[in-house]
Structure 1
């Protein structure tokens, strides 16, 4: 009964001072609701400690004694430990929240890209398949029976199947890149050899379109990379440049060394890209607002970007003069410069 009487006597003093502190803390939390999570957690930790200290001060009548000294020491020790923990915890939670939001945004973007890719590929697959089916039915039904026409149909079927094969290869390569299953065997690679191989492969297509290919470099860098993948990067950039350069236009390849890294540039005469679209040219199946081309599946630049990044390199697009410039930067081979 004595204990209950004593508690009844001191409770109003403890509540009278601790309650305003708690209410003040609640108001402060409301005012800081737009601030960082670390700030809110710090206030949330300090308010109970200050309310406890205020309650003890009310009970002791602001008389310093063993009880008040003990409570002050305990509250101070708890505050020294819990406040830094609250700050660190708040920052970690905030960073995790930002990371989760960014991850969800990337996931939504990837899903949108996948849907767009399926739409593009579905269209691009239907077109050659429809042509192959029509030509095969014409041959089967005897609609075409002249030897010259039969050979022409056979050649067109071969071209369409080759186009389908290239699209399947691009899809497979892109799937390896996006799945992180790309395994490269690095070695010392002279860019002169890579460019010569790519030009030899793309020259017939350039001739058919009336586009000139030329190089404007006397000394070529030597880089560290995988020869087949680098050749594919250059071929994809060349193919893209040829496809968008009008007849009688010129595609120029240059190379050099700058800031300790090798660079390779492909300049075309495409007429330029809308500045707001420059950051999107490497997206899967992105082709801009221009009329769709009948070659490729819109994967070449996306594959080139993935392969360059796998080499610890960078690739960017910019408008230059009457066309565009695609620039690739790669690590130089050790103890190597220009060849």
Structure 2
């Protein structure tokens, strides 16, 4: 823009300079021409006055005529201050105010003489070698004293030095004025160019920043000229673009937030197979990052051969596909895949939209539900079948045998109790899982609490000669739901008694431990026994519903298979954790950790 401003300034200066120079040249030439014309006319009038005052003598002696004319020429020069020359019609000089006629050349070839002979008057301007300056010559053809035929030519000459000096002074003034005008014109032109180019510079700068998506820029728009109108239009366009860009960014942020927080993975693939979108959930389901995947072909997802085959089929057939695939990277998952053809922005050929959902947990829950129904049916069927069978036997006549009838009725009663416990545990587990019975937290003194648990189980432990060893820190309190905590500890201690041979020992310990960052405190309650132990392969499933390590022994002990599952759920409701450590043939240890103060 600076170059444009300079060019505009130079153009203005040249236009003004050429205009002034042309006007000066025209004025100078006009001044010179008018001055010479005025001088010529004056000299012609002087010639007429001279001729009237001293007419050309009639024919006579040539020497006397020459002397007479020479004296008259000198006398007139003293009066008028101009050189006077008398010339005969054949060009011979008869008298001159400045030189001897005899020494002068014939003047018949002089321009003014020839013109005077032809027209009556003549004039010319030429350089005088004698005087060394330009002279004006004016000639007049005259007659004798009595009139009649022309007798000769009278010529006046005058130096143009004064005129030329005047012209030179004018040219000097003109040049000085022109230079001064150039300077003034340059300053004025620069200011004019600046007033024109500065708004253009601002608009150009603003347009460049808009091209770089900076729409906050504004151009000063004061005034009512065309530049101000253009600036207002540019500002209005910038404001409109800024609003649209903000809306696009807002929508993009919302869309990105939706994609980032969706539980489903989303992948967009162009018609040429290049990945254009790879959501955060897709990163977790398929591995890799969006930076690694976007812009590259889907065939580079080499860890998922079945998925790439399904994508290839979708790009080829362009039909909606639905399938469930098991992927093993970054971890084993069951994915529900939906592939939908769609035309993407700026593309003519359709690509693919992949929506992936991790259904591993859903399928696991469905499997657990099926297993739960099957286990419940099986667990209910066993006591019901026993009750039904013994009842039928009694009705068939065994009731008449008192000893047999008592034995069968005892079995029916035991199976009914077992059935009642099973139904109670199922209902209890259902209430806990659905959280229909909220916990009532209160401070619990663990020493007295564990003492009551020991009293309740002491008779059962005594029947098997099992020692109950319960120890805890004095004055230890825990914030928990007393009834639910009683269920947890009772279940763990009963399991220890049930699976410990006669003469064994069940040990309970309670003490305070700190978290890894030492910001929280927990109460750790351990219940260990010297029982049969749990095989290592069964430990991960020990807290599942109806899972039994030794099914025959569990049923003979009267267990329902739901106790540890209830313990697990109640522990989680207390924001705690439980785990088990066990060695077959040595014993097991259940480690329960609960917050000292509930969050």
* Cross-structure match for 1:71: 211
Cα deviation digits, residues 242-277 of structure 1 (max 9, x gap) = 232233322111111222222211102234333343
8 Å contact from structure 1 (residues 220, 255) kept in 2: no
Could you tell me which residue of structure 2 aligns to residue 226 of structure 1? 481
Count of residue pairs the alignment pairs up: 271
CA separation in 2, counterparts of 1:263 and 1:66? 70
Give the one of 586, 589, 596 matched to 1:325: 589
Residue 207 and residue 134 in structure 1: after superposition, are their counterparts in 2 closer, same or farther (change >3 A)?
farther
1: CA distance between counterparts of 2:534 and 2:583?
A: 10
**Greater relative CO, 1 or 2 (CA 8 Å, sep 6+):** 1
Moved more, 289-298 or 224-233: 289-298
| CA distance in 1 between partners of 2:551 and 2:597 (Å) | 39
TM superposition shift of 1:127: 1.6
8 Å CA contact 2:398–2:405 kept in 1: the answer is: no
The CA distance in 2 between the partners of 1:103 and 1:229, in whole Å, is 34
Q: Which segments of 5 or more consecutive residues in structure 2 lack a partner in the other structure? A: 1-203, 217-241, 263-278, 286-334, 336-355, 515-520
> 1:111 offset after TM fit, Å?
2.0
Instruction: State the 1:103 CA deviation.
Output: 6.7
Alignment check: 8 A CA contact 1:121 1:297 kept: no
Whether the 8 Å contact between 1:194 and 1:230 is mirrored in structure 2 is: no
What is the deviation of 1:303?
Answer: 0.3
Counterpart mapping for 1:106-117 below 5 A: 106-117=361-372
Q: Given the superposition, is the C-alpha separation of residues 206 and 230 from structure 1 closer, same or farther in structure 2, using an over 3 Å criterion?
A: same
* Partner in structure 2 of residue 306 of structure 1: 569
For 2:474 and 2:400, how far apart are their aligned partners in 1? 55
Residue pair 2:529, 2:588 contacting (<8 A) in 1 also = yes
The TM-score with structure 1 as length reference comes to 0.67
Are 1:197 and 1:231, in contact at CA under 8 Å, matched by a contact in 2? Answer: no
Alpha-carbon displacement from aligned partner over 1:202-226 (angstroms, at most 9, x marks no partner): 3444344454333244636321122
Do 2:582 and 2:589's aligned partners in 1 also have CA atoms closer than 8 Å?
Answer: yes
Q: Does the C-alpha gap of structure 1 residues 271 and 151 become closer, same or farther in structure 2, counting only changes over 3 Å?
A: closer
**Matching residue within 237, 262, 281 for 2:542:** 281
SS at match of 2:398: coil
**Aligned partners of 1:217, 1:248: CA distance in 2, in Å?**
23
Q: Which residue of 2 aligns with 1:59?
A: none
Asked if residue 127 in structure 1 is aligned to residue 379 in structure 2, the reply is no
User: 2:510, 2:523 within 8 Å by CA — same for their partners in 1?
Assistant: yes
Instruction: Provide closer, same or farther for how the CA distance between residues 212 and 114 of structure 1 changes in structure 2, counting only shifts above 3 A.
Output: farther
Measured in 2, the distance between the counterparts of 1:165 and 1:220 equals 38
SS at match of 2:490: helix
Name the structure with the higher helix share: 1
2:260 aligns with one of 91, 95, 106? 91
Aligned to 2:530: 269
Paired residue secondary structure (2:530) = coil
Alignment of 1:54-203 (within 5 A): 70-73=210-213, 78=245, 81=249, 85=253, 88=257, 90-93=259-262, 94=279, 104-203=359-458
- Contact 1:116–1:285 at 8 Å: present in 2 too? no
RMSD over aligned Cα, in angstroms? 3.5
- Residue 215 of structure 1 aligns to a residue whose secondary structure is strand
Judge conservation of contact 1:222–1:333 (CA < 8 Å) in 2. Answer: no
